[in-house]
A and B are shown apart, each in its own frame.
Chain A
């Protein structure tokens, strides 16, 4: 099946393969996406998806620990992996004539990762160090507090990296069971974008992945976050440089017909943003509403909105770094006022047109990189369908200014929000010793 330059293949073992030839530069990228993330985690096992992701860099019989990064480097490539709420992804971006290496690595570690006891133990402390590195930043404490207040039962309340006590308690069998449950062709999507010939490459895909067994049925996630019954407020008091504000409104998932109007609302508030993570986007926030109202007025040194597509209902967020001379309450009032102004007066036709133009440019910048193109295909396939990665401009064209006002009125209410304050407990608590 072919759709907009994207070929869709399904192997007999149910592995979905998306390929897109791009001959702009002699590079290609190989991604494997698994439909598992912190959304799939239960109490006591928080962080297990992220830890399993780390274990896939710890060796197989064919690629023992410490060889994978060297072989990718030797072939002029880069590789990495990351875990999110809704998915786990791995990629290799390589000179085009080396793309088969990606197929070999990913097919091998889909099934053959060793999870040796001593590697599990050493990775436990690596992840604790990753967690402690994040905890050095005050924003991490605030974000965790906002998420855990905004979600009462949905796993989106848990940090992707997990809670420290769970990371101390889980063992090799827990991790290996998670791996065997979710890391199967029927729960994976292979995405290949770049300078290759599809039919020749598909022959190699079949060679590497065709023989892998289909896994068990994937456990469903039943959690549905209940309707909030009133505003929630959290405060973090810790050492820190300045106050930070974070507000999250519970909003629909990416399949909702209200998703695209919310996406436009985010762009009206702080510029159209690319979902592409590997560079290339343009900064478009300084002419948008929040920058004018918060940064230009010197209430905050930075402020923005953010909205990310997810499988289940998530948060539409507002964030601000409070100017040291200002009160966080003033900043909160000003941010809230920006939302209430749109609820009352709507947005202008010019703003809608500007968002569309900005998005058209962001799509073009993102398309300069095969890594970004594959990221968008895989990301959308994880949460809905890959087809949406090419539909963003068409979908924007269907949005009316009144839709944006309506979704602001419906979802960005005090009833549906969690307000977080980070209030520093110290000033000038730095000392140096020789």
Chain B
């Protein structure tokens, strides 16, 4: 008899002090929280069994995430609300499970589905007429920038097709929806550096406050919907 595969997708917030732990430490953090909460998690087979847990997209150290996502597999079904509550009792300040949803039998993993992400970037200074400058930039046919790849080789890439939406607010905040995931991926720092360079401004990424606000999959009709 085939065992039913029971999976859940957890959405969570990682912000404040918790921004300073990296992806591998976050994994460990979740594994321990699951243990303390006595969640009936499934383990992988093999010599070194580990919890069946997969994050949709690592969040870079220092960045806040308001709608991050992780899939877990359990040995038996647990009520979604209960799962959320039990895990939230184990979360430190800066971490919160915001939603738990049971996945359908044939649903793909978050990592496989992921197609785009929203970012909100608070700049290190006000830039006069920021919105106009962005609109002007949008008229360029190509956004060519240098990208450092493996073995420290740089190559020129056009990032414009990877930017789906770009807007600003009060000359100090930038919103961007950009390609994210295994198919096409743009890093937010690369986009920000391109924009700063374009405007002839000095760029120090560490001075920007970056928040990833949503992760999306792409529907058949081309529309983006949250994971």
Chains A and B form a bound pair = no
Q: Which residues of B contact A (CB under 8 A)?
A: none
Q: Which residues of A contact B (CB under 8 A)?
A: none
